[in-house]
Structure 1
Amino acid sequence: MVTPAALSSSPTQSRYLLLVVKILLVLLILLILPKLVDGKPSQGKKRRKLDRRYLDVLSACETGLQCGGMIYEESLPCVTECLSNECHGKVYGNSPLELGEVDEKRYKEFEACAKRELREAARRGK
């Protein structure tokens, strides 16, 4: 069987044509991809700012005149009260910590409450 000369092409031409088509497809995908992956922006930056602000206030309370002379474990009640008197009352009000006592569960509750207060104060400040 004989094929017409107009329909046949050399192997190098078809190889280049295939390469051009692949490049065009990749470019098309790269142009469309950002529109397809349009999601909600991350809250990571806001969380890092809040954590940094919390750690700054915590550090100021730990090294301040009121609580600075104590070791960490003994200064925890003083530091939590310095950070947020309201949250300290909510979390530790019914059964206060003894000197040297560390209660991770209640401290995490306190930390969440204090960060919530900082977040609300920042919103009011804007």
Structure 2
Amino acid sequence: MADKPAHMQHMPHFLGPVAPITIDHAEGSWVYATDGSKWLDFVMGIAVVNTGHCHPKVVKAVQEQAAKVPHAQMNIYRHGPMLELAAKLVEILPEGMDEVMFANSGAEAVENAIKLAKQVTRRPGIIA
């Protein structure tokens, strides 16, 4: 498209960003643009950085885990942090809820919830 800004030249036309900036880095609740401006991030990474951008404890944990095993799909491998988190979750869940399933995405979580519901109820269909 001829009317595309230069910085969006190689991006699909339907991915027009809301904020007119290119982010250089982020810290806490703030994002910093390549032009030096500072912006309060009300979106917080589409709600996935609820501890703030680059929280030191989160960065440290990610670095340590990435140095060991960056990704271990739960239905293929198991790893310590996953097992530890499952045990901690079971401690705070209501009695009788003693199993935890992790998913990589919302779509995967919903898909598995549907499969579990069908298995438990022994009903083949769903209404969504």
- TM-score under structure 1 normalisation? 0.24
Q: Which has the higher helix share?
A: 1
Q: Which has the larger radius of gyration?
A: 1
Q: Which has the higher strand share?
A: 2
- TM-score under structure 2 normalisation? 0.24
User: Which of structures 1 and 2 has the larger relative contact order (alpha carbons within 8 angstroms, sep 6+)?
Assistant: 1
